[in-house]
A = this chain, B = another copy of it.
Amino acid sequence: MKAMLLNGKDVAKSVRESVKHEVEALKKENIYPGLAVVLVGEDPASKVYVRNKGRTCEKLGIFSETITLPKDVSQKELNTIIDKLNHDPKFHGILVQMPLPRQLDASEIIHRIRPEKDVDGFHPENVGRLILDEEGFQPCTPAGIMEILRYYKISLEGKHAVVVGRSNIVGKPMLNMLYQKKKDANATATICHTRTQDMGAITRTADVLIVAAGVPEFVTGDMIKPGAVVIDVGMNRVDDPSTDKGYRLTGDVKFDEASEIASAITPVPGGVGPMTIAMLMVNTVKAAKFQNR
């Protein structure tokens, strides 16, 4: 293991501390940041995420409320709830926990949340603002990755940054953050995906390699340029009878190989994961500020 570990827990902690101070300052101006979290159904992973979001809000002094809905709620009922939250001044941010049950149209929900309260950064207006480098909300996972790079003073300027994966919530916004004409960005940026021919030839040119492929241990050591910085967004359960739980968590990067070649790497868990909720808190405070100026 030669690579430096990029510890997302440390970065997230530092972000949370600065959010906490901001919240205290806002309260002195009688602004009480608030987040509404909508949870539909009983998906165990979703329930854990939602609980963690609520707890983090509490720790940072952010008011939050979880609206729990039965798994068979109709689109119309959910729309009505979104509309109410859109107009409720207690809530500066609205988050609908994904994935949603099959009868619900996630895209319709994303479009329905007012862009000013879209702290997930999924509404097309916020996506557009990101690309145009205008003020708005940026999706939490890629924003968290930018924060990790800043924290560890890893410059992107003029470097080649390669993103593997083209999802709406990670790959696409990540790509568009990397090349922006501004401090802490300015990278040459490439996006690869399932249709890419000779993926290794591309990833081996990356000074910074960000992997959000959704495939366990997809990136092997031979696909990494010596000295590269590797960011692993994956979080996969892989069967492992040798463990108590019968599975282990693994990223999209073959960690043992990669950590011998890279100069720095995020572990899984404890890398990108902890950043997501921290950046949601950043966005919620930003929303409270926007709505009170």
Chain A positions near chain B (C-beta within 8 angstroms): 107, 123-129, 131-132, 134, 136, 157-160, 166, 168, 172-173, 175-176, 179-181, 186-193, 195-197, 202, 205
Q: List 24 A-B contacts (CB under 8 A).
A: A123-B128, A124-B126, A124-B127, A124-B129, A124-B132, A125-B128, A128-B131, A131-B131, A131-B168, A131-B173, A131-B176, A132-B168, A132-B172, A158-B197, A172-B176, A179-B193, A181-B195, A186-B193, A186-B195, A188-B192, A188-B193, A188-B202, A190-B190, A205-B205
Q: Which residues of B contact A187 (CB under 8 A)?
A: 195
CA distance A259 to B11 in the complex (A): 51
Assess A188 versus B196: contact at CB under 8 Å? Given A127-B127, A134-B124.
yes
Residue ID in chain B nearest A185 by CB atoms: B195
Residues A197 and B190 in contact, CB atoms below 8 Å apart: no
Residue ID in chain B nearest A168 by CB atoms: B132
Residues A195 and B157 in contact, CB atoms below 8 Å apart: yes
Residue ID in chain B nearest A187 by CB atoms: B195
Residues B191 and A179 in contact, CB atoms below 8 Å apart: yes
Residues B107 and A134 in contact, CB atoms below 8 Å apart: yes
Q: Which residues of B contact A123 (CB under 8 A)?
A: 128
Counting every copy of the chain, the complex holds 2
Residues B188 and A131 in contact, CB atoms below 8 Å apart: no
User: Smallest CB–CB gap between A142 and chain B, Å?
Assistant: 13
Assess A159 versus B197: contact at CB under 8 Å? Given A124-B134, A128-B128, A176-B172.
yes
Assess A131 versus B186: contact at CB under 8 Å? Given A166-B181, A181-B193, A195-B157.
no
Q: Which residues of B contact A176 (CB under 8 A)?
A: 131, 172, 176
Residue ID in chain B nearest A207 by CB atoms: B197
Q: Which residues of B contact A172 (CB under 8 A)?
A: 131-132, 176
Q: Which residues of B contact A189 (CB under 8 A)?
A: 190-191
Q: Which residues of B contact A160 (CB under 8 A)?
A: 197, 202
Residue ID in chain B nearest A159 by CB atoms: B197
Q: A124-B132, A158-B195, A158-B197 are in contact. List 17 more A-B contacts (CB 8 A).
A: A124-B124, A124-B125, A124-B128, A124-B129, A127-B132, A131-B131, A157-B195, A158-B196, A160-B197, A160-B202, A175-B175, A176-B176, A188-B191, A188-B196, A189-B190, A189-B191, A190-B191
Q: Which residues of B contact A193 (CB under 8 A)?
A: 179, 181, 186, 188
Assess A166 versus B191: contact at CB under 8 Å? Given A128-B125, A128-B127, A128-B131.
no
Q: Which residues of B contact A168 (CB under 8 A)?
A: 131-132
Q: Which residues of B contact A181 (CB under 8 A)?
A: 166, 193, 195
User: Smallest CB–CB gap between A9 and chain B, Å?
Assistant: 31
Q: Which residues of B contact A173 (CB under 8 A)?
A: 131
CA distance A181 to B197 in the complex (A): 14
Q: Which residues of B contact A126 (CB under 8 A)?
A: 124, 128
